[in-house]
């Protein structure tokens, strides 16, 4: 039998690839910063649980947890926490909630947040609520600085569309 189809008992699974770290500035809302701290603490608790377990299959889980701890530690160290705006904002900016309509009259609502916060909370958001939007996305970049009543071009892979800002909230 070829050695390629056997596995020695002392071979360990390959380490998972590191999570990619964005080269953009690491802006975060206060809420996103606090959520990331909670995630890091949960990962540390999970690591301790896995280390105390003697299950062999726990080794691959431990490697994933260790990788995520490195990622969150690095992201928190580079975080630039942007304080929330006070009062009613006149222009779309980081942390604001922006309402707009597309060319077909469909209403949309997004909150402009940090990259990690957008990724983490996008999966948790039902469709009828404000959806998170990374400040680095083409849509957020198009909206930044716009005021209520302004029209901007939303660059999309399927073709640009014109949208109108209908409301901005802190």
Return the CATH number at 148: 3.10.50.30
Asked if residue 149 belongs to a domain, the reply is: yes
CA distance 115 to 33: 11
User: Which residue, 98, 102, 111, is CA-closest to 168?
Assistant: 98
pLDDT digits (tens, 9 = 90+) for 50-63: 888 766 566 788 99
Judgement on whether residues 165 and 109 belong to the same structural domain of the protein: yes
Judgement on whether residues 102 and 161 belong to the same structural domain of the protein: yes
- Record the tokens describing residue 75, joined without a space: 């992201």
Exposed e or buried b for every residue in 9-35, given b needs 16+ CB within 10 A?
eeeeeeeeeeeeeeeeebbbbebbbeb
Judgement on whether residues 110 and 143 belong to the same structural domain of the protein: yes
pLDDT confidence of residue 121 = 66
Judgement on whether residues 50 and 101 belong to the same structural domain of the protein: no
Residue appearing with tokens 């705006």: 85
Judgement on whether residues 154 and 103 belong to the same structural domain of the protein: yes
pLDDT digits (tens, 9 = 90+) for 81-133: 999 988 899 999 999 999 999 999 999 999 999 999 998 865 565 555 789 99
Asked if residue 9 belongs to a domain, the reply is: no
pLDDT at 4 over 90: no
Judgement on whether residues 62 and 122 belong to the same structural domain of the protein: no
- Mean pLDDT score across all residues of the chain: 89
Asked if residue 72 belongs to a domain, the reply is: yes
Asked if residue 14 belongs to a domain, the reply is: no
Asked if residue 92 belongs to a domain, the reply is: no
- Reduce the DSSP state of residue 163 to 3 states and report it: strand
Judgement on whether residues 102 and 74 belong to the same structural domain of the protein: no
pLDDT confidence of residue 15 = 85
The partner residues of 162 in beta bridges, in order of sequence, read: 153
pLDDT digits (tens, 9 = 90+) for 12-60: 557 899 999 999 999 999 999 999 999 999 999 999 998 887 665 667 8
Asked if residue 77 belongs to a domain, the reply is: yes
For the chain, what is the domain count?
Answer: 2
pLDDT confidence of residue 27 = 98
pLDDT at 9 over 90: no
Asked if residue 74 belongs to a domain, the reply is: yes
Asked if residue 71 belongs to a domain, the reply is: yes
- Record the tokens describing residue 127, joined without a space: 């469709």
Enter the pTM of the model.
0.82
pLDDT confidence of residue 14 = 78
* Structural domain for 59, as ranges: 24-81
């Amino acid at each position: 039998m070829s050695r390629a189809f056997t596995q020695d008992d002392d071979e360990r699974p390959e380490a998972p690839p590191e999570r990619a770290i964005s080269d953009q500035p690491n802006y975060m809302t206060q809420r996103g910063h606090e959520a990331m701290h909670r995630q890091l603490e949960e990962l540390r608790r999970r690591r301790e649980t896995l280390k105390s377990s003697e299950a062999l299959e726990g080794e691959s889980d431990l490697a994933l947890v260790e990788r995520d701890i490195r990622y969150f530690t690095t992201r928190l160290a580079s975080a630039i926490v942007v304080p929330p705006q006070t009062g009613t904002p006149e222009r779309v900016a980081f942390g604001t909630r922006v309402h707009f309509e597309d060319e077909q009259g469909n209403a949309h609502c997004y909150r402009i947040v940090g990259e990690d916060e957008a990724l983490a909370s996008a999966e948790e958001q039902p469709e009828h609520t404000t959806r998170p939007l990374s400040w680095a996305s083409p849509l957020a970049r198009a909206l930044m600085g716009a005021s209520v009543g302004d029209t901007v071009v939303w660059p999309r892979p399927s073709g640009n569309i014109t949208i109108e800002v209908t409301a901005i909230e802190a």
